[in-house]
Structure 1
Amino acid sequence: MTVSLLTLLFSNNITAQKPPVLSNLKVGDTVPDVEILNIHNYKSNSAKLSDFRGKLLIIDFWGTWCASCVSMIPEMEKLQKQFNGKVQFLPVTGQKAEVVLPFLEKLGRQNGSNFKFPEVVQDTILFNMFPHNLYPHYVWISPAGKVLAITGYDEINSKSISRVLDNNVKELEQKSDYRQFDYDLANPLVELLYGAPKNITLSQKRYSFFSNYVPGLPAGYHLENNDSLRLNDWRITCTNMSPFWLFRLAYGGSHYIPNACIDIKVRDTVKVRDTKAIFGKRWLEHYTYCYELSLPSELKQEAWEIMQKDLEYNLPDLNASIGKQQRLCYVLVRTSQKDKIVSKGGTPIADMNEFGYKLGNVKLKRLLSDLNFWYYDISPYCLIDETGYSLPADLVLNGNISDMDHLNKELNKYDLKFIKKEAEVMVLTISEKNKSMAN
């Protein structure tokens, strides 16, 4: 069945209202000498900000659930040692000590280190002085107590710190942290941004919407069945996503396409995908997009094909296609016929963190999906399953399972193993259209 869609196209002079920038203390302000409570790894359980005067103070707002924040902890330790006596990092979180301190202890053991930053937990004081939405969030304070910069993690490196110590702050990219929309995913994104369109009745349940970057919306996507009286639809909502992720979703659907199974044949890859080196406000504004597709629930099987066609129309300089190719992969196999993973039942669970993974009463395909997404997405080899095991499984994998040797040691307990070999996999190719096609 072919679905007739009304695609909402908005001209460049129609934009959503820009939400206000969160600003309490800003660059150039002198920081009040407030008392900070709940400090650990310090000479006392409280301090004043003036206690850190004489050094470049970098306040690190973070959370244990933020992968980027956690990855920066060892880097901050190296930088503090490198600039010994000149720089002080001060991690700050709103989480409780009983969550944060054991987490840091485990992370230290895993990295062969002993992180001894003064650690502020359960904070409200500094959060109120420097409100923000996106993590990680860094506030740079001069030895004299003035706010020098507010940045993301890209600027936390030796080159930037050296510049600031040499009184050259101008080259740092400041972080604009926009107040997020009060956005209920049960409501259409198009209504949030523009109000209900006059030329379409959303109760018709069929529409698609495409726009440029919208400040205040988080990057990501959401799939929703909405069975309310107002709408009875199946909806895909994507906010501030790069073409790389939009195509990945459109061609993968419910099946996650590993990074190793994506070929980008574009001269300027900056236009297609995000990397740590280029992920910043200017890049977001130029190369990320919002997309929404709504269909009656009975037509949701056609959604991915429709999304593909919408992207082809709205991103006219790019091509995307998917097909089978032979690739070198990590293939999960059984090393015996003894069943050591059959589930004992119970509530289904697939839980992961920095210290391991637990699967309970869930099929192995979930393990492969999570490993590909969370642990091996930057690997040159995708992970696939050739065990032939179709029953729900129970297993616990401890330690650093992002290391294949260690992962195999853990899997050995269950007579499972990843082996490297050629296998046929689905590969997504993103390429440029030639000028004649683009025109």
Structure 2
Amino acid sequence: MEHRLLNYKSAKVNLDELQDKVVILDFFDTYCSNCIAAMPKLQKLQDKLGDKLQIIVVTWQDSATITKFFRTNQYLKENKVKLPIIVSDTLLSKLIVHKGLPHVAWLYKNKVAAITFADFSKAEHVERLYQEGKIQLPLKNDFESNEPKTALGWNGAIADKGGSVLTGYSDGVPERGFTIYRDTMGYGTYGTIKNTPILAAYISIYTKIRKPKFLLNKERIAWEVADSSKYSYLSDKLSSREWLLEHGICYERKIMRNVDDAEFSKSALEDLNQLLGLDVYWDERIKDCLELKKLPANKVKRQITISDKNNMKSEDKLPVEGTDVLAFVVDMAKKYPPCIDLAKTDIKMEIGQFRTLEELNQQLATYGLVISKGRRAIEVLVVSKK
């Protein structure tokens, strides 16, 4: 079967003609930022292993759209990306069915060798497939059922009598935090965690017990374990997907009666602590922080002038209702210590972009508020060994 190409030695390619090379089909579109960000890496891989490898990126978009995009995208031009592109694809996407992008298919000797994630497009995997004729990479499956396997009778050990099972990474299963299901006949409550880091698993359970009113950034995690890299992705050498292969967990639990989310989640929390030999709980620790306070009445200043207001368009402002939401917005910047709301007011504000706390405080003064550095006891999630 022939496919129309751009950036190739001919306008069409028959994949049968490439069977002596490893062929990587990388499905993308111009709306997928991760797809575009990965293309320089793919180009380097192609340049390095061109005698053994042919990378072809595949899109449903038409030739005119793609030609203009590659001609005008400065990032791709700077990185000299000139990968062959199958455009207006309608056939391959039906043969290699997917929902999420990027989506990667590996072919060799005219056979599909792997359907996997973009993280694994690396030289060592190409060499292994080329030399050995086969390869085992994690399966990317966009159509895994969300139903708990216990409910379908997959795990007979707990389907009929209840209990729990903890395993490692499960191939072909999409990541999913703690999810609760109930038997429609009233015979039990099920909970599942799929291919999730241990810390993320605990957080997803806790959100069903008590949702925090702040962003749970790294300063709010108190590690009391020998090696925190086993529990949360902190690697600068592996992609998150590669790390998950070794450290991700799957968990299933069933109680033989219908209970509410909070009760079931508490039982799952105790169960996971027991299975992993951990104690994960909320506590307070003394930490550097930002304190959001009300200004004293005699210090309130209106520092935004009429001209400032005219220069700041309404669409450039973020409507914020309450100081608790403002503290969350500051935490979202990920540039500062945790922001603690001491003002506790539901005042409505409009906050423009800010690069520094000084710029933010100029805006907050209008509302009688100020943010300053402090140190106090704040809520943290403690992760400790039993």
TM-score (norm 2): 0.61
Identify the match of residue 61 of structure 1 among 16, 19, 27: 27
Tell me the percent identity.
19
2-structure distance, mates of 1:125, 1:181: 22
Corresponding residue for residue 105 of structure 2: 139
Corresponding residue for residue 217 of structure 2: 258
1:313 to 2:274 alignment: yes
1:183 to 2:146 alignment: yes
1-structure distance, mates of 2:10, 2:164: 52
Corresponding residue for residue 12 of structure 1: none
Identify the match of residue 325 of structure 1 among 276, 285, 304: 285
Quick one: structure 1 residues 169 and 47, their matched pair in 2 at CA, closer, same or farther if it must change by over 3 Å? same
Please give the secondary structure, in 1, of the residue aligned with 2:150.
Answer: helix
Corresponding residue for residue 155 of structure 1: 120
1-structure distance, mates of 2:104, 2:81: 18
2-structure distance, mates of 1:282, 1:244: 14
Q: Give runs of aligned pairs for residues 5-84 of structure 1, distance below 5 A.
A: 33-36=1-4, 42=7, 47-49=12-14, 57-62=23-28, 69=35, 71-77=37-43, 79=44, 83=48
1:233-263 per-position Cα deviation (integer Å, ceiling 9, x unaligned): 9986533323221222334542252233223
1:172-231 per-position Cα deviation (integer Å, ceiling 9, x unaligned): 7523345744335xxx6631345894447xxxxxxx7544355544212266798x9766
Quick one: structure 1 residues 191 and 330, their matched pair in 2 at CA, closer, same or farther if it must change by over 3 Å? same
Greater Rg by CA: 2
Given that 2:178 and 2:204 are in contact with CA atoms closer than 8 Å, whether structure 1 keeps it comes out as no
Corresponding residue for residue 202 of structure 2: 247
2-structure distance, mates of 1:98, 1:115: 18
- Which structure is higher in helix share? 2
Quick one: structure 1 residues 410 and 49, their matched pair in 2 at CA, closer, same or farther if it must change by over 3 Å? farther
Quick one: structure 1 residues 270 and 179, their matched pair in 2 at CA, closer, same or farther if it must change by over 3 Å? same
Deviates more, 1:301-310 or 1:362-371: 362-371
1-structure distance, mates of 2:72, 2:324: 28
Q: Give runs of aligned pairs for residues 263-274 of structure 1, distance below 5 A.
A: 263-267=222-226, 269=228, 271-274=230-233
1-structure distance, mates of 2:320, 2:220: 29
Runs of at least 5 residues in structure 1 that lack an aligned partner in the other structure: 1-32, 201-207, 341-356, 398-403, 434-439
The code of the aligned residue for 2:270 comes to K
2-structure distance, mates of 1:238, 1:141: 32
2-structure distance, mates of 1:81, 1:360: 47
Corresponding residue for residue 379 of structure 2: 426
Q: Give runs of aligned pairs for residues 149-298 of structure 1, distance below 5 A.
A: 151-157=116-122, 159-160=123-124, 164=127, 168=131, 174-178=137-141, 180-183=143-146, 190-192=150-152, 193-194=154-155, 197-199=159-161, 209-212=164-167, 214-221=170-177, 237-251=192-206, 253-255=210-212, 256-267=215-226, 269=228, 271-274=230-233, 277=238, 284=245, 287-291=248-252
Once the two structures are TM-superposed, the CA of residue 118 in structure 1 deviates from its matched residue by 4.8
2-structure distance, mates of 1:164, 1:319: 43
Quick one: structure 1 residues 108 and 296, their matched pair in 2 at CA, closer, same or farther if it must change by over 3 Å? farther
Count residues with an aligned counterpart. 356
The code of the aligned residue for 1:238 comes to I
1:359-390 per-position Cα deviation (integer Å, ceiling 9, x unaligned): 567667567658867x74xx795565567553
Given that 2:150 and 2:252 are in contact with CA atoms closer than 8 Å, whether structure 1 keeps it comes out as no
Please give the secondary structure, in 1, of the residue aligned with 2:151.
Answer: helix
Q: Give runs of aligned pairs for residues 361-372 of structure 1, distance below 5 A.
A: none
2-structure distance, mates of 1:102, 1:411: 40
1-structure distance, mates of 2:63, 2:327: 33
Please give the secondary structure, in 2, of the residue aligned with 1:59.
Answer: strand
Given that 1:60 and 1:136 are in contact with CA atoms closer than 8 Å, whether structure 2 keeps it comes out as yes
Quick one: structure 1 residues 215 and 165, their matched pair in 2 at CA, closer, same or farther if it must change by over 3 Å? closer
Once the two structures are TM-superposed, the CA of residue 88 in structure 1 deviates from its matched residue by 5.7
1-structure distance, mates of 2:176, 2:219: 20
Given that 2:285 and 2:378 are in contact with CA atoms closer than 8 Å, whether structure 1 keeps it comes out as yes
Quick one: structure 1 residues 126 and 423, their matched pair in 2 at CA, closer, same or farther if it must change by over 3 Å? farther
The code of the aligned residue for 1:263 comes to A
Given that 1:333 and 1:385 are in contact with CA atoms closer than 8 Å, whether structure 2 keeps it comes out as yes
Given that 1:223 and 1:236 are in contact with CA atoms closer than 8 Å, whether structure 2 keeps it comes out as yes
Once the two structures are TM-superposed, the CA of residue 288 in structure 1 deviates from its matched residue by 0.5
TM-score (norm 1): 0.55
